[in-house]
Amino acid sequence: MRIVATIEARMRSTRLPGKVLKPILGRPMLELMIERLGRVQQVDDVVIATSDDPSCDPIEELAVQLGVSCFRGSEEDVLDRVLKAGRQAQADVIVETTGDCPLIDPNVVDGIISIYLANGFDYVSTLQRTFPLGMDTQVFATAVLEEVARLTQDPVDREHVSLYIYEHPDRFSVHWVPSKLPEEYWGLRLVVDTPEDFALMSAIYENLYPKNRMFSLQDVLDLFSRQPELREINQHIKQRPV
């Protein structure tokens, strides 16, 4: 069974254009995320699923530079883009991630994959919000996404890759993985969607990365305990609903 992590990334994000290539410690944010996903033990390959819009040429250039697979497809039909990226990588199982999550924890991702492999669920995810934003991991078979692609042409479903799966538990077996973290961390923003988010991300990396390139989610939470003022940087930002 070939397991492939896809990273949805594009340059034309509305609140912070070009965010995936903004530098942290001199390296593009997307590169840092790829480095972390490369440490997931059960992932056989990582593929960037980017847009065919010319604005995304630099993303493909980064992929070539890093020796990472890249697929370019529809800007708006992200479901089709991720499905074709998975097919290109010959994935039996897709681990869906998004390029605004450069703190994604390899141990968390491995844990979600293990639950998927040990059970008969069609879909296993962190998205029922007991994990901080930014740990977002969704695991499902390529065959399941192929079925979804046949079932719906709704633009909302096509933009939000897995939405149809978890909104139809009558058709697909869905499992939400609890984080076991204290509730105070459930809504923590460790995702990059605004300048404030990026400022926090930069501060976290500057504090932790030089000492440990593979710092964990727990290391981030420990940093907040030592420097609680960091949480204030983006705590006023509201996540946009699907």
Residue 73 lies in a domain: yes
Give the pLDDT confidence score for residue 242 in this predicted structure: 65
Residue 52 lies in a domain: yes
Q: How many CB atoms lie within 10 A of CB 55?
A: 14
Mean per-residue pLDDT of the chain? 96
Give the pLDDT confidence score for residue 15 in this predicted structure: 82
For 21, the domain range is 3-183
* pLDDT tens figures, 36-94: 999 999 999 999 999 999 999 999 999 999 999 999 999 999 999 999 999 999 999 99
Residue 111 lies in a domain: yes
CATH code of the domain in which 103 resides:
3.90.550.10
Give the pLDDT confidence score for residue 130 in this predicted structure: 94
Give the pLDDT confidence score for residue 209 in this predicted structure: 98
Residue 222 lies in a domain: no
Residue 238 lies in a domain: no
Task: For residues 175 and 197, give the distance between their C-alpha atoms in angstroms, rounded to a whole number.
Answer: 29
| 152: amino acid identity, one letter | T
The structural domain count of the chain equals 1
Give every residue of the chain whose pLDDT is below 70, as ranges. Answer: 241-242
Residue 77 lies in a domain: yes
